[in-house]
Amino acid sequence: MATEPPLSDNRYYIRRALEVAIHVGLLVLLTTACLLILRPFLPLVAWGIIIAIATFPAYKKLRSLLGGRGTLAAVLCTLAFLAVLIVPVALLTDTLISGIRGLTAQVRAGNISIPPPPESVKGWPLVGAPLSRVWDMAYTNLSGLLKSLTPQIREFLPRLLHTSAGIGLTVVQFILSIVVAGVLLANASGGVSVTHLLAARLFGDRGPEFEELAGSTVRSVTNGIIGVAVIQAVLAGIGFLVAGLPGAGLWCLVFLFGCVLQIGGIVLIPAIIYVFAIASTTKAVVFLVWCVIVVLSEHVLKPLLLGRGVAVPIVVVFLGAIGGFLAIGIIGLFVGAIVLSVGYKLLLAWLEGPTEAKQGT
CA 240 from chain center: how many Å?
Answer: 23
CA distance 105 to 98: 11
- Compute the distance between CA of residue 16 and CA of residue 355 in angstroms, rounded to an integer: 38
Structural domain count of the chain: 1
- Give a yes or no: residue 360 inside a domain: no
| Domain assignment present for 9 | no
With beta carbons less than 8 A apart as the criterion, state whether 81 and 87 touch: no
Residues belonging to the chain: 361
pLDDT on residue 33: 93
Residue 228 included in any domain: yes
What is the reported pLDDT for 360? Answer: 47
Say what the pTM is: 0.68
pLDDT digits (tens, 9 = 90+) for 115-162: 777 766 676 666 677 777 777 777 777 667 777 777 777 787 788 788
Asked, for residue 303, whether it belongs to a domain, the answer is yes
- Using CB atoms within 10 Å of the CB of residue 323, give its burial: 0 to 12 exposed, 13 to 18 middle, 19+ buried: middle
Burial class for 31, CB neighbours closer than 10 Å (0-12, 13-18, 19+): exposed
Domain ranges, residue 176:
42-352
Q: What is the pLDDT of residue 124?
A: 67
pLDDT in tens, 9-38: 677 778 888 888 999 999 999 999 998 998
The conformation of residue 226, written as its DSSP 8-state character, comes to I
CB atoms within 10 A of CB 248: 20
pLDDT along the chain (361 residues), means of 10: 56 83 92 90 85 85 87 89 80 74 71 69 70 75 72 79 78 86 84 80 79 80 80 88 80 82 82 81 88 88 72 81 83 83 83 55 44
- Does residue 327 lie within any of the structural domains? yes
CB 53 within 8 A of CB 180: no
121 domain residue, yes or no: yes
